[in-house]
Structure 1
Amino acid sequence: MADFRIWQAADSALVVEFGSAIDRKVSDRVLALAETVKESGLPGVTEVVATFRSLSVIYDSLLTTGGELERAVAALIKAGRASSHVTRLWDIPACYDPGFAPDIEEVARSVGLSPAEVAALHADPQYHVYMIGFVPGYPYMGDLPAQLRLPRRSDPRTRVPAGSLAIATSMTAVYPYESPGGWHLIGASPVRFFDPESAGGALLSPGDAVKFRPVTAQEFARIRLAIERNDYVPANTEIAT
């Protein structure tokens, strides 16, 4: 029996599902298929969209049919075609000072740590970008250290400032612009995570890696000013995987 399933979504998209949980192995399969489909040049495919456990393959119904594409995609999966993938490791400045972190003291009390320990623990891992969603440019990143895992807030905010660094369940994220939100706010980044005038819009992509670099409030202000002058771009290193 196949360990994936494919079904038609609307009249011009297929969904390929690999699992039912948030899991790095599942995410790796989703991202590998995304690269394989793009590299294969299947007729009619216009876009692929990765999620935690599935891939949407969007197509032009004037150039192919759902049935033809389903058979082609299934064949690619079964063939196990190797796909090169370049991971971008991003260096993202983050300030955990209380003025940028309205929930860090509450989080610290909930998990039995000090605010400084929460900040250090959060900044320690290299995070995996599972998907972009909720609002444009919003990166769902995992996996959060077990000590920091809390359910979403019981009282969501109607306005979360742009750049807010947040945690909930096993995920961490940065709000790309002001929006509602129900995650715990433990810091902020001056980096633009979504720019409608840029080529791709979102800074990060599924499969990217992120390392948060703690900065002071003064350094945060300096970087934000440089970004406003278009004099700062977060560093990233490409790593072949």
Structure 2
Amino acid sequence: MNKKIIYFLEFGIIVIIVTIFLKKFLIVKKIRCISDISCSITLTQKLQKAQNLPLFTSKSTVLDILKKEVTVKNYSMRIKPPDSLEVYIIERKESAGFAANGKFVYVDDEDVVIKFSDKKDNVPQINIYDGKNYKFRIGDKLPENLVFASALSRDLSNLYAIKEITLGKTDISANFPNLKVFFPTKDDEDLLIGRLKFVLSWLNNSFLPSKMKTLDLRFKNPVVRSENG
């Protein structure tokens, strides 16, 4: 038999033996949580349940814990000799907040509800006045109309530093410097932002920009109204 094949088989057998040994006999005595933000105390405490277990059991326990954590977006693990397991996680970050009935509901960039709070955080905010009774739960995906409002709030924040918009029954409104803009509650996001950019550019280059008070993008042709109506 070719010597290279023999060496390859021997190496493969050694790898298998080492793997079996690690899974069955290596006891994980310490688990270290590493996050792109910072591992919460609650999550760190949960992961400690996977300590002092055989490697295979410890990893399975960690996986079960992370799969149930709504705030964890992605994760990976690696062994750190002699007896530690490092858990790397990417957490969901707040990207927009909804204010309703004195409470704040925060979602990530995939519009998954990740947090409730009594305080306003430094992310784009949508004030809800559309008359609907929303039932938010951690881990839920936003309904379609709120997904659009959430995306619009992020666009306006990134492009124009608008930190707050209002969702009404028939429109979404935002206060720009010296101009109030009305948006539809549902539309093609990219086309809508394109129309906004075009009209704002036209207004800035027109001879009466200071007299323009409202811009309504709910119609096929944008409607601009002056202070005299």
TM range (shorter): under 0.3
TM-score under structure 2 length normalisation: 0.23
* Higher RCO (Cα < 8 Å, 6 or more apart): 1
Q: Which has the higher helix share?
A: 2
**Length-normalised TM-score, structure 1:** 0.22
Larger radius of gyration: 2
